Amino acid sequence: MQPFTVHSPARVCFFGDHQDYLELPVIAGTIDRFMNFEVGPTTTNTFILELSDLGQHMEIPIDPAQVYPQRAEIDFFRAGLRVAARYGYTAKHGLRIRVSSDIPINAGVSSSSALVVGWLYTLALAFGNGVMPSKDLLGQMAFEAEVLEHKSPGGQMDQYTIAHGGLVHIKTGASIQVTPLSLPEMSLVLADSKIKKQTLTTLGSVRDCATQAIDQIRQRNPNFSLETARIEDLDQVISHVSPELRHYAEAAVRNHEITLAALDELRNETPNLAILGKLMSAHHHELSQVLNVSHPKIDQWIQIVLSHGTYGGKIVGSGHGGCCVFLVPKANQNTLCEELLEAGVPAVYPIKIDQGCHHTSF
């Protein structure tokens, strides 16, 4: 077989964190930091995986029944093999694969989804007889392998964004719809706090509380729809919700309104970056002060940066650690990186929106 390398990017959510599992829209993009799968042949009937950044070595024999039994721990490689086989991408021979990455791990920029999308892209390229899945199908396969196969609480944003690439608006839910957005001249900075997140715990907790709040509203008002709800209308129904859950419903509606406002701005011929930045910061306020999924250090860094001419910024991902992203004037990008490092941020990267999962051949 001809050796090839798959490049699977990180994902940044600009608007809609903690929204996709409520089937509300998000605006996200892929950035120029990638997980790479260097793929070559092997004489064995085995997948030989070298996880170079982790110093780990794995071998997975090809299962003739394509079952690849689930282990107690999360195993994205075997889950990906099961899902790929269900869609006709059946492993026929072994591969030798070296996986390396410059994506921050456990930091809110979807390193796990980059792994799963890249792995499924690799399997499709190796065993699809030249027929690759559509971007939508690749996203769905990855969602099944990462979320459904492990009964995890995540949504669909990460996998579909990485499969499509660029800047996208995603209507989540059973009839998911991904719409590419025109890309304005966005200069961005990613700051990695190196504070490890508890992704599944945070997602599960916030999702459960938000879902309970919405269910309580619908018990009194069966026609209530998060998609059409507006904050000025919420007073009519919020009194029926348990006091400790009310702010989850309020945050869901406010964040939805913020996402809709950002979408309107991005549809303009020349989007106003200052407006987009203010909307990003408003979204962070809901995540930090209402849903309480930020971290004091991240809040502090955002406040420092906002006082230095930055358009806006927010935490990225499930929360309680990880990365934050800033939208900045192009002339200030390098200066902001220096200011963040001086403020104590462990790692800072100037970034840009880039393409989705793709490959190069040799």
Instruction: Give the whole-angstrom CA distance, residue 15 versus residue 258.
Output: 7
Amino acid code (one letter) for 129: N
Please give the helix or strand (H or E) that residue 100 lies within, else none: strand 95-101
Please give the helix or strand (H or E) that residue 246 lies within, else none: helix 246-266
Bridging pattern class, strands 95-101 and 46-51: parallel
- Residue 226, classed as helix, strand or coil, is coil
Partnered with residue 294 across adjacent β-strands are: none
Residue 177, Cβ neighbours under 10 Å: how many?
12
Q: What is the DSSP string of 18-72?
A: TTGGGT--EEEEEEEEEEEEEEE--SSSEEEEEETTTTEEEEEE--TTS--PPPS
End-to-end CA distance of the chain: 11
CA within 13 Å, CB half, 167: 15
Q: What is the pTM of this model?
A: 0.93
pLDDT attached to residue 240:
84
- Residue where the block lists tokens 């998609």: 227
**How many residues would you count in the chain?**
362
Asked whether 190 and 348 are in contact (CB, 8 A), the reply is yes
CA within 13 Å, CB half, 25: 19
Please give the helix or strand (H or E) that residue 92 lies within, else none: none
Per residue in 1-54, pLDDT (tens digit) is 799 999 999 999 999 998 988 889 999 999 999 999 999 999 999 999 999 988
- Residue 98, classed as helix, strand or coil, is strand
Q: Within the chain, what is the greatest distance between any pair of CA atoms?
A: 68
Partnered with residue 170 across adjacent β-strands are: 26, 178
Residue among 169, 179, 160 nearest 113 (CA): 160
Look at the alpha carbons of 146, 149, 150, 152 in this order and tell me if their dihedral is positive or negative.
positive
Residues of the chain with pLDDT under 50: none
Asked whether 119 and 37 are in contact (CB, 8 A), the reply is yes
- Joined together, the tokens standing for residue 205 give 């907790």
pLDDT attached to residue 204:
65
Q: At a CB cut-off of 8 Å and minimum separation 6, what does 266 contact? A: 27, 167, 169, 181, 182, 184, 276
Partnered with residue 324 across adjacent β-strands are: 191, 315
Domains of the chain: 4-183 (3.30.230.10), 187-351 (3.30.70.890)
Asked whether 53 and 100 are in contact (CB, 8 A), the reply is yes
- CA 275 from chain centre, in angstroms, equals 23
Partnered with residue 96 across adjacent β-strands are: 40, 48
pLDDT attached to residue 174:
81
